Structure 1
Amino acid sequence: MKRSKINYLIDKAHSLAETFRVYLPDFAFLTVEDWQQQNCDEWREVLDLQLGWDITDFGRGDFNQMGLTLLTLRNGSLRHVGYSKPYAEKMLQIQQYQQTPWHFHMYKMEDIVNRGGGDLCMQFVWSTPDGDFDRQKRVEVSVDGRRRCIKPGETLVLKPGQGVCLPPQLYHRFWAEKTFVLGWEISMINDDQHDNHFLEPGGRFPAVEEDTPAKWLLCSEYARLR
């Protein structure tokens, strides 16, 4: 992804959050220049746990068609001593018709919530032990405490205010139907380095083309500050 696109998308994400009256933490507003003036020891939790902005095209090279804008608000860690928090929280911004590819998490259970905007469409298929689709096993999920049994690959539509609980090893993908969706993720500890399995090879974090100076740092770029 081009740096100019990342700069634009984070500017846009700030504006969309403001439109939905979502108030973000201080670190969401720190520019590269701001970070250079900070005492990084005070922000050690943010840096160690990679809280902050996460713009991805999943290695597909077409963000508008397949991508996601995320802001990790809080997280714990199984690898860093001193971070015993057993949960994570993310804001998800999903553009109109933008897709997230088929993937599952080995260990993480999560709730995906539609906080507002259009319809959030989701599909599910159980994984086999070798990471393929189990097209025979019916899927059972909880939508706001209501048990729903659906066929593999059947589309579940979450209206604004609705959320679904996803167990580990359940393939899922989602997209925004008709208009932008403000999504939210509440989960067990999030580990993007080790816990994601994608059906088709790609990349969780983008390769960045530096066509313009960085205004914002992605959470995967905090090593620049060390």
Structure 2
Amino acid sequence: MKRSEVNEIIAESDVFIRSHGYILPPFAYWSPDTMKARVAGDSAMIRDHMLGWDITDYGQGKFRDLGLFLFTVRNGSATNVRRGMGMLYAEKIMISGENQISPMHRHNFKTEDIINKGGGVLVLELFKADSKGEIDETAAVRVRTDGTWRDLPAGGLLRLAPGESVTLEPDTWHAFWGEGGRVLIGEVSNVNDDRTDNIFQDQIGRFSSITEDQPPRHLLVSDYDSWLG
């Protein structure tokens, strides 16, 4: 992706998020220079826990068709998990465009609630994992939606209207997209690790490769290693 495209997506996404009454935390608006100074001082957690802007085309170069906007608001750590105390949870806000696919994947450790916060309908295609963790194309899928069990066939489509949510366990393969317009999505989960805990059906990358055609408006979490050290 070009940096100019990333900057444009950040600007339009911020407007969409605010239109639904959700306000991002102050560090969302720090310049790269401010971010670099602050993570060297009192705000190292932002870098170390990968909080912030996250825009991905999964390395395929067609964001509007295959991509996702995310902002990680809070996140614990593997250290907390080992201790069994501290921040053991994470929160993200995401945007899925109409027919913009977030590709089929699952997680090894993360259980997540995916919440339609507003906009269009969120559509999820669901499969269960077999004993080897691969997609089971025959097993029925049972998930909780707002505390109520829902049963679907393998590959069934679950549609969530604004206000509805689904709990996805690590054995649930899922792809999703917006229907009838862009969808603002909340995610509440246990500790999130986007470096190692995303298992994709296809051989694709989690983060985008950025071509620097203009300065960054704000840094992405995938910029932190190269820009912040």
1:39/1:186 CA distance change after superposition, 3 Å: closer
Q: How far apart are 1:84 and its partner, in Å?
A: 2.9
SS at the partner of 2:11? Answer: helix
**What residue in structure 1 maps to residue 123 of structure 2?**
121
- Report the identity percentage: 38
- Contact 1:131 1:199 (8 Å CA) reproduced: no
**What residue in structure 2 maps to residue 11 of structure 1?**
11
> What is the count of residue pairs matched by the alignment?
226
Between the aligned partners of 2:207 and 2:69, the Cα distance in structure 1 is 11
Q: How does 1:24-173 map to 2 (within 5 A)?
A: 24-38=24-38, 40-79=40-79, 84-173=86-175
Unaligned runs of 5+ in 1: none
Structure 1 range deviating more: 71-80 or 181-190: 71-80
SS at the partner of 1:11? Answer: helix
Q: How far apart are 1:220 and its partner, in Å?
A: 1.8
Q: How far apart are 1:41 and its partner, in Å?
A: 2.1
Q: How far apart are 1:21 and its partner, in Å?
A: 1.5
**CA RMSD, 1 decimal:** 1.7
- Contact 1:53 1:70 (8 Å CA) reproduced: yes
- What is the letter of the counterpart of residue 111 of structure 1? D
Between the aligned partners of 1:19 and 1:97, the Cα distance in structure 2 is 21
- Contact 1:107 1:169 (8 Å CA) reproduced: no
SS at the partner of 2:41? Answer: helix
- Contact 1:56 1:205 (8 Å CA) reproduced: yes
- What is the letter of the counterpart of residue 172 of structure 2? L
- Contact 1:55 1:218 (8 Å CA) reproduced: yes
SS at the partner of 1:54? Answer: strand
**What residue in structure 2 maps to residue 221 of structure 1?**
223
Q: How far apart are 1:33 and its partner, in Å?
A: 3.5
Taking structure 1 as the reference length, the TM-score comes to: 0.95
Unaligned runs of 5+ in 2: none
Between the aligned partners of 2:193 and 2:39, the Cα distance in structure 1 is 26
Q: How far apart are 1:36 and its partner, in Å?
A: 4.3
Between the aligned partners of 2:49 and 2:104, the Cα distance in structure 1 is 25
**What residue in structure 1 maps to residue 180 of structure 2?**
178
Between the aligned partners of 1:225 and 1:126, the Cα distance in structure 2 is 39
CA displacement 1:45-102 (0-9 Å, x = unmatched): 1110010000001122100001000000001111489983111000011112111000
Taking structure 2 as the reference length, the TM-score comes to: 0.94
Between the aligned partners of 1:46 and 1:172, the Cα distance in structure 2 is 28
**What residue in structure 2 maps to residue 200 of structure 1?**
202
SS at the partner of 2:43? Answer: helix
